[in-house]
Amino acid sequence: MIAKLPAYMDYLGTKKDGSYKITFVTQEMNSEDGMVLLNMRNKLGWLLFSPEDNIKEEEIPKESPKEFPDDKTPSQRLRGVVFLYWKSLGSKGSFDAYYKVLMEKFINQVKVKLEL
């Protein structure tokens, strides 16, 4: 399924984890095109953007995008984000100690939900 529609880039910003947030604004579209986009919501895919209507076949990636950047597992990604959060708080104390305390709190929150 491919959506090809005229749009302009409205916003480009960086996130703490090194990713980017990009916002596009489209022109008015019919309900079929709108449904195509709604069906793609929360799916990982490729975004090709060009101010010209001449994207060449060889410019379209053939492989699927990676689910996890740099082949990191979800737990590795979570640890990295927690590290960035710890740094934003002033890097007080040891990160390993902070991480263990934070994970223990999270584990206990999940355990409480299991007891419902």
Is pLDDT above 70 for 68?
no
- Residue 95 falls within a domain, yes or no? yes
Contact call for residues 89 and 80 (beta carbons, < 8 A): no
Considering the domain architecture, whether residues 38 and 78 belong to the same structural domain is answered as: no
Considering the domain architecture, whether residues 38 and 74 belong to the same structural domain is answered as: no
Q: What is the pTM of this model?
A: 0.48
User: Could you read off the pLDDT of 42-60 as tens digits, one per residue?
Assistant: 888 888 888 887 778 778 7
77: containing domain? 69-114
Q: Tokens for 8, please give them.
A: 């302009």
Considering the domain architecture, whether residues 47 and 12 belong to the same structural domain is answered as: yes
Domain boundary among 36, 59, 82: 59
User: Could you read off the pLDDT of 6-54 as tens digits, one per residue?
Assistant: 888 999 999 887 888 999 998 888 888 888 889 888 888 888 888 887 7
Q: Tokens for 100, please give them.
A: 């263990």
Q: Tokens for 75, please give them.
A: 């737990």
- Residue 64 falls within a domain, yes or no? no
* Distances 78 to 17, 21, 69, 106, 109 between C-alpha atoms, Å: 10, 19, 12, 12, 17
CB count in 10 Å sphere of residue 39: 10
Q: How many structural domains are present in the chain?
A: 2
Considering the domain architecture, whether residues 32 and 76 belong to the same structural domain is answered as: no
The span from the CA of 107 to the CA of 95, in Å, is 18
Considering the domain architecture, whether residues 50 and 74 belong to the same structural domain is answered as: no
From the list 111, 80, 73, the residue with the least C-alpha distance to 95 is: 80
Instruction: Output DSSP code: residue 79.
Output: H
